[in-house]
Amino acid sequence: MAAALARDQAEIVGRYALYGEIASGGMAVVHYGKLLGAVGFQRPVAIKRLHPQLARDPGVRDMFIDEARLASRIRHPNVVPTLDVVADGRDLLLVMEYVHGESLQHLMKAMRKRGQRIPLRITLAIVSAALHGLHAAHEATTEEGEPLHVVHRDVSPQNLMVGVDGVARVLDFGIARAAVRLEHTREGIVKGKLAYMAPEQLGGATVDRRADVYAASVILWEMVVGRRLFVKDDGGTVMVDKLLAGRIDPPSRVAPGTPKLLDALVLHGLARNPEQRFATAREMALALERLGDLARPSEIGEWVEGLAAEALAARAVRLQEVERSSSQVRVAAARHVDRELPTLFDEDEDDGVDVVFDLQQRPPEEPSVVSASGSRRIPPPTMLPALPSPRPLAVFVAYALLGATIVAAAVFLRWAFG
């Protein structure tokens, strides 16, 4: 009974109740949540909560708020909706629509474990839907109608959610580039997942929507073929060489039976020169749809349920517990105690690695790489150096000297002027 009560216990932040974790990463935890409205109105939501130790960093807070602001301007069925942002004391929450489904990363991994390739019609439907969602992001505007020029910069299988309703949705605009941001990426700093990073992004150049088209094309290649395109088998440096100059085979060379027209579309999206790619994500989506025979949402939903049945069933039970817990909500003490960040990185998945490195700095011997699903060390070409930790004693001495100077000046003035 005590265990069951603990599962139902919630922490109240503003008008939201936070329950157990759905997922946890290096920067934030995603919780089951519930909107507590007037006259008993309730709605299940997913709540992304910045780790307390990171919430104290102004740069990280600005980046998190930017994500909420940008995502709120993107309204499309193929983008996970952002409903609210809550700043309560030192807590920072991003409230999103709860999507019952599974990440494309886990679905692709499940198919590889089975030794199977994803049915082509499902692949085409998922990638086409994701491209339509990305196009909506690229076309987003401010409240005054000015283009935001959003570039996701982190398009990867783990940032695509496929629901049991058969709808693919783009999520996580945490490192998106836009014309209006509180936190700007310094010139020469590269952010993103190495295996899905466009060559111009890796080179530190200014990127536009075509960088997202490239990343979506990498995903398309991998879904068609059933394996990774760029594998970090010999270390990060070798992987960078592959990204910049390695040969990219057409999918049919690895997956016989792939239509030649699809080969051409994939390689067009993977052109290393952005001028030679599709100009927009929508252009590529329409090209895929012209191939014909895309799966319907009902077929995709059945495929998702078949692959992720156990995980989906467990989440459904948990969601029911959350929805029934209205009479057992308890206010928990705010959690602001520093703790080790969780590491949930899957050792045989390279696409979970977010790299942040500085092209203008020499790399340290052991660069730290922050992942959306934990942290891991890889040797990227260069790396942003860590900031030095503050020195409390030095600060105290500086203030003491300043105070002594002020007192001495006051004594002197009093003596000089009687």
Q: Please list the active-site residues.
A: 154
Q: Which token pair is 259?
A: 């239509």
366: left (phi over 0), alpha (psi -120 to 50) or beta: beta
Enumerate long-range contacts of 239-246, CB under 8 Å, 24 or more apart.
Answer: 239/194, 239/195, 240/194, 240/202, 240/380, 240/381, 243/194, 243/195, 243/197, 243/199, 243/202, 244/199, 244/202, 244/203, 244/272
Location of structure tokens 């696409």: 351
Instruction: Determine how many CB atoms are found less than 10 A away from the CB of residue 90.
Output: 13
Residues 6+ apart with CB under 8 A from 391: none
Rounded Cα gap, residues 160 and 22, in angstroms: 16
User: Are 101 and 80 within 8 A, CB to CB?
Assistant: no
Nearby residues of 375 by Cβ (< 8 Å), 6 or more positions away:
26, 341, 343, 345, 368, 369
